[in-house]
Amino acid sequence: MNAMTFRRCHLFENLEKMSVPVFCAVALALATPVFADGLSSAEQAIVRHVDARREAAIELLARSVNIASATENHDGVRRIGELYAAELQALGFETRWIDQRAEVGRAGHLVAERRGTGGKRLLLIGHLDTVLQGEPFRREGNRGHGSGASDMKGGNAILIEALRALHAEGALDNRQVIVIFTGDEEDTGKPYDVSRAALVEAAKRSDIALAFEGYEPGTAVVGRRGFSSWHLEVTGSQGHSSTIFGDERGAGAIFEAARILNAFYEQLREPYLTFNPSVIVGGTDVTYDPATFGGTARGKTNVVPPRVVVEGDMRFLSRDQLNRAREKMRAIVAGNLPQASASISFIDGMPSMEPTDGNRALLAVIDQVSRDLGDGPLVAHDPSKRGAGDISFVATLVSGLDGLGALGKQEHAPGEYADLDTLPILTKRAALLMYRLMWPQ
Ligand SMILES: [Zn+2]
């Protein structure tokens, strides 16, 4: 039994919730000095493969950035899918295209798969589409500029190059790896159960999901918030303003709406939960169109208003938190002022990625990889700072990590770039994370 064996068993116990950590923790302390650089010979070979591809990886990024692929550009999304399909076929993957144009009005997804029975079964997640398009690849010093260079063609390049290094070392042999590049992450097709069916199906056949959205220095993502929308309808008794507060007229719809929103503000707030009333219309004659989030209101100062409509969103870290918040909102809405009534309805948006113990165990693995590579520790990214992503759709099915992609800036904006100097270290980190998951010792 070598030193790496001791180290890995400590980490894998966490992952599989087995119960002999003391032995391994002691062994870890004893084992550490044996490998000064922290890497086995196979791992060192994987690192060398990544280093040898330094310029080639940037070329792959450049080629992908130069294929314009905004979500609505179905041809472009399909063509970048073809580029990645060819890369993955060369690494022994079978690929297929899942067309989504007829079902949800989106280009579709690339699915690539290698089959095997050893180690953890990995699901790797990237996306083909970008928010903006049309800015070609331009290299300036350590920056690779262009539409989607960071979000997430840089992450896709890291994913593919990590697999290439593993393949070169035979580390994909008899291992199941499914890669999904979705074609509509930036503007996800609806309904979600159709547009994310392939992702969910792949997760059901996998143990761990790794997603390659942008890297935030020193962190990995173990949790992402989800979102839901809410719609509040308030009615009151219309009449002369001089009769407000009377038995017959009561409070009017606008006071009732104000009561409800203030109670939300006072009573609902807790860590990782936010709720935002984003549009409100109220008065005597009110129109509201949920499709455009727009409406009109008219009234007179001498009339008690009969109607208010409020539309908002909420962000949450777990389904449980969402359900508790909805319960409280319903109770607040039900406590009406005189002669007023109100109802609230909710529409599910993207689910959350709850920070589970399984996710934290994966963080421990990549933290150790990062230290062994001499790149310092990694901690959990603050979930309140990260919106929903594709990994959220599979977060209840498998343990996962996100934020394994490129270091960049200006995402979703002109001037977007990926930092080219950090591509190799991020690729090595991803490759060794996958290696230790697929080849537990
Ligand atoms: Zn993205």
Q: How far is the CA of 406 from the centre of ligand 1 (A)?
A: 10
Question: Ligand 1: distance of its center to the CA of 70 in Å?
Answer: 12
**What confidence category does residue 385 fall into, taking pLDDT thresholds of 50, 70 and 90?**
confident
Residue 435 Cα, ligand 1 centroid: separation in angstroms?
A: 24
pLDDT exceeds cutoff 60 at 386 = yes
Dist. CA 152 → ligand 1 center (Å): 5
pLDDT digits (tens, 9 = 90+) for 416-434: 999 999 999 999 999 999 9
pLDDT at residue number 366: 98
pTM for this prediction = 0.85
Confidence of residue 323 (pLDDT cuts 50, 70, 90): very high
**Domains, the chain, ordered by start:** 37-224+353-438 (3.40.630.10), 226-348 (3.30.70.360)
Q: What is the pLDDT of residues 238-267, one digit of tens each?
A: 999 999 999 999 999 999 999 999 999 999
Q: Has residue 392 got a pLDDT over 80?
A: yes
Strands (E), 147-269: 175-182, 208-211, 219-220, 226-235, 239-240
Averaged pLDDT, 335-362? 96
Q: For residue 337, how far is its CA from the centre of ligand 1 (angstroms)?
A: 45
Q: How far is the CA of 143 from the centre of ligand 1 (A)?
A: 18
Residue 85 to residue 398: CA distance in whole angstroms: 25
Average pLDDT, the chain: 92
Distance 151 CA to ligand 1 centre (A): 5
How far apart are the CA of 124 and the centre of ligand 1, in A? 14
pLDDT at 37: 66
How far, in Å, from the CA of 104 to the mean position of ligand 1? 19
